[in-house]
């Protein structure tokens, strides 16, 4: 944690407590007021001095002095000079995991991480502690918004009924080479190694309503005739797709398509935060074309 001004040495770790020495002078992210939601925190100065502020009241601690911060109290630690402070948190909770996260994170020259890193820390450790301001509710909302804007992951679930036997629907979906015939104009070309089998690969060229073309490679990971087809996808889009087919009482087929995808094409990576609604609209348009083409193809 040298960029944060300190080195941490863990001395003891049990379920009941974690004890560690903080050596140096906290700066940036570490020097800000925060709250431990479920832990008491005891500070004992070994070398140097520290200013411990608890609920707005400042206390100056020197070698041999110790003070405990109660659960839920807003507090901050600052040093006028580098020193050594022994810290105990009870119970230990996930403090060691939090310290490791701090040691791994990137910070600027002022000791501050990026907003995305702060949002990830808030998401992962909010149950244990949080910044003193703004309110926890506002922090959760900000974190959720930042993570949503930064994410390039999409989860789609589409379901519809097809008036065709399940076996025929299964054959059409499991063999990607048929897609240019019925999933028009989305799929332009599909090249496969042969009949669909687990482990077989295929290569796709397709487009949507947005002005770009995509090229992917798919590997079949699961086939359960005539119920389930799963495949991993790599290339301009990276993800996993799963088709689940069930019989309807009238002899038709209920189709469910679960599609988890990451936008890995360079242009998509840049534009995802801004164009997420457009990407979802583009997916909806592509699925509408599948609904139009799958039934007459399977019936034929």
Task: Determine the pLDDT at residue 151.
Answer: 62
Task: Determine the pLDDT at residue 148.
Answer: 67
Does residue 51 sit in the same domain as residue 163?
Answer: no
Residue 146 lies in a domain: no
The angle subtended at Cα 178 by Cα 173 and Cα 181, nearest 5°, is 120
Identify the domain containing residue 256 by its residue range.
Answer: 153-299
Average pLDDT over residues 226-243: 93
Residue 144 lies in a domain: no
> b/e for 99-126, b at 16 or more Cβ within 10 A?
bebbeebebeeebbbeeebbbbbbeebe
Q: Residue 51 pLDDT more than 90?
A: yes
pTM of this prediction exceeds 0.75: no
Does residue 292 sit in the same domain as residue 161?
Answer: yes
Q: Residue 270 pLDDT more than 60?
A: no
Residue 143 lies in a domain: no
Per-residue pLDDT of 144-202, as tens digits, reads 877 766 666 678 999 999 999 999 999 999 999 999 999 999 999 999 989 999 999 99
Domain containing 105 — which CATH number?
A: 2.60.120.10
Does residue 157 sit in the same domain as residue 104?
Answer: no
Residue 54 lies in a domain: yes
Domain containing 279 — which CATH number?
A: 3.30.530.20
Give the chain's mean pLDDT.
Answer: 91
Task: Determine the pLDDT at residue 212.
Answer: 79
Residue 168 lies in a domain: yes
Does residue 161 sit in the same domain as residue 270?
Answer: yes
Q: Residue 253 pLDDT more than 90?
A: yes
Tell which of 92, 113, 134 closes a domain: 113
Indicate the number of domains in the chain. 2
Does residue 174 sit in the same domain as residue 251?
Answer: yes
Per-residue pLDDT of 53-101, as tens digits, reads 999 999 999 999 999 999 999 999 998 889 999 999 999 999 999 999 9
Residue 137 lies in a domain: no
Residue 267 lies in a domain: yes
Does residue 188 sit in the same domain as residue 271?
Answer: yes
Does residue 161 sit in the same domain as residue 33?
Answer: no
Does residue 158 sit in the same domain as residue 285?
Answer: yes
């Amino acid at each position: 944690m040298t960029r944060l001004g300190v080195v941490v040495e863990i001395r003891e770790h049990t379920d009941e407590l974690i004890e560690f020495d903080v050596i140096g002078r906290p700066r940036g992210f570490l020097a800000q007021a925060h709250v431990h939601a479920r832990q008491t925190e005891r500070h004992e100065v070994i070398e140097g001095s520290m200013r411990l502020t608890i609920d707005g009241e400042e206390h100056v601690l020197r070698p041999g002095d110790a003070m405990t911060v109660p659960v839920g109290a807003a507090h901050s630690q600052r040093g006028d000079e580098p020193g050594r402070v022994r810290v105990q948190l009870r119970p230990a909770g996930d403090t060691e995991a939090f310290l490791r996260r701090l040691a791994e994170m990137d910070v600027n020259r002022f000791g501050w991480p990026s907003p995305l890193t702060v949002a990830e820390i808030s998401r992962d450790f909010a149950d244990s502690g949080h910044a003193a301001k703004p309110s926890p509710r506002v922090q959760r909302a900000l974190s959720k918004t930042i993570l949503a804007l930064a994410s390039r992951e999409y989860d789609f679930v589409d379901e519809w009924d097809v008036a065709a036997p399940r076996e025929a629907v299964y054959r059409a979906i499991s063999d990607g080479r048929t897609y240019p015939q019925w999933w028009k104009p989305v799929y332009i070309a599909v090249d496969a190694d042969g009949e669909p089998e687990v482990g077989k690969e295929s290569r796709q060229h397709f487009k949507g309503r947005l002005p770009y073309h995509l090229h992917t490679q798919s590997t079949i990971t699961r086939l359960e005739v005539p119920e389930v087809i799963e495949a991993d996808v790599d290339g301009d889009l990276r993800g996993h797709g799963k088709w689940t087919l069930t019989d309807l009482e009238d002899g038709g087929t209920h189709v469910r398509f679960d599609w988890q995808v990451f936008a890995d094409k360079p242009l998509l990576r840049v534009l995802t935060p801004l164009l997420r609604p457009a990407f979802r609209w583009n997916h909806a348009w592509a699925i509408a074309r599948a609904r139009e083409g799958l039934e007459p193809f399977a019936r034929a």
